[in-house]
Structure 1
Amino acid sequence: MNPQFPAFKRIITNPVLFKFFVFQKLSAAFWAGLSMAHFDEESCGVRVKLSWFNQNPFRSMYFAVEAMAAEMSCGMLAFGQVYKRQPAVSMLVEKLEAKFVKKATGVIIFTCADGAAFQQAVSDALENKEGSKLLSTSIGKNQAGEVVAEFHFTWTFKAKTL
């Protein structure tokens, strides 16, 4: 695990610091209303509530907002593993696949439980010059616990050389 993960977790789990972080680094997520439902070494949940700002003409959540929340649920786990690493590690989404199961209305929580896999992928990237790849999954559920969408992201990690 990244020795800096606890410092990153303090930022992400503090509502004020999280809002500042998102406004500074992910401004579209700030305006779309994304918030943290839970965050630890193993999993991350991102909450998004349907609003006039993030809806489509059919009164459901715009698919790009769902994708943003899904990516953030995986990306925060990834970012926690690359945060202040020496040498620095770059991360990038290489591929995205999505399956929309049900109309997204109300509050949706996207959860990724691939924390251990992100730890391993970043460790692998630090150990070899080729970097590493990881396929992660984020599942979005509504307040009734019904799956509304599934996202699969292929992440790439590579240690930066000086």
Structure 2
Amino acid sequence: MQITPKNINRFMMFKLPLGYLSGMRVKEITDTFSAVNIKYKWINQNPFKSMFWAAQGMAAEMCTAVLVMKAIEKSKKKVSMLVTHQKSDFFKKATGKIVFTCNDGTQVANAIKKSIETKEGQVIFLTSEGKNEDGIVVSRFQFQWSVKVKL
């Protein structure tokens, strides 16, 4: 499967149904950047009239994951990928459409290249920031990914 927004969104429907039903959609993927949207609605709400933190986390993680998947695809190698740690900060209630972005694709490509060269696992920290429709940061997530070329 080629790593494109359309293919990832179709994949979600069958393999990540909770993400698909929540309204999470991959909007853009390049070698260095990704964007994932999620809109506040009944299915992803919390009792405080905003988006549940886990729904935000799902979109934030997907934003980093597609960059890892894209870099693996480009490397033409079999590479394992796993989130090994996560931390998050919340600044404002998430209502309306939230767009998570990540600009860490170069870091991912470098880690995969180093894993291929050394045959050892590499750890990278990728940040995904969620902004509301007014451009205000509502949450920031950092994911520690482990990548390792398969021998």
TM over 0.5: yes
**Aligned-pair Cα RMSD in Å:** 1.6
Over the matched positions of the two proteins, sequence identity in percent amounts to 38
Deviation at 1:38, TM superposition (A): 1.9
**Paired AA for residue 30 in structure 1:** Y
- Is residue 13 of structure 2 the alignment partner of residue 13 of structure 1? no
- Number of residue pairs aligned between Structure 1 and Structure 2: 151
> Which of 85, 89, 92 is matched with 2:82 structurally?
92
Match of 1:36 in 2: 26
- Give the stretch that moved more between structures: 135-144 or 123-132: 123-132
User: 2:52 & 2:146 partners in 1: Cα distance?
Assistant: 27
Match of 2:147 in 1: 157
**Cα distance change on mapping 1:86 and 1:145 into 2, 3 Å:** closer
| 1:135 is the counterpart of 2:129 | no
What are the ranges of 5 or more consecutive residues in structure 1 without an aligned counterpart? 1-6
User: Over residues 56-78 of structure 1, what are the superposed CA-to-partner deviations in whole Å (9 max), with x where a residue is unaligned?
Assistant: 11110010000000001110000
1:105 is matched with: 95
- Tell me the TM-score normalised to structure 2 length: 0.93
TM-score scaled by length of structure 1: 0.87
> Structure 2: 5+ residue runs without aligned partners?
none
Quick check: 1:61 aligned with 2:55? no
> Does the C-alpha gap of structure 1 residues 18 and 160 become closer, same or farther in structure 2, counting only changes over 3 Å?
closer
Q: Which amino acid aligns with 1:64?
A: A
Residue 46 of structure 1 is aligned with which of 32, 36, 41? Answer: 36
Question: Is 1:71 the equivalent of 2:65?
Answer: no
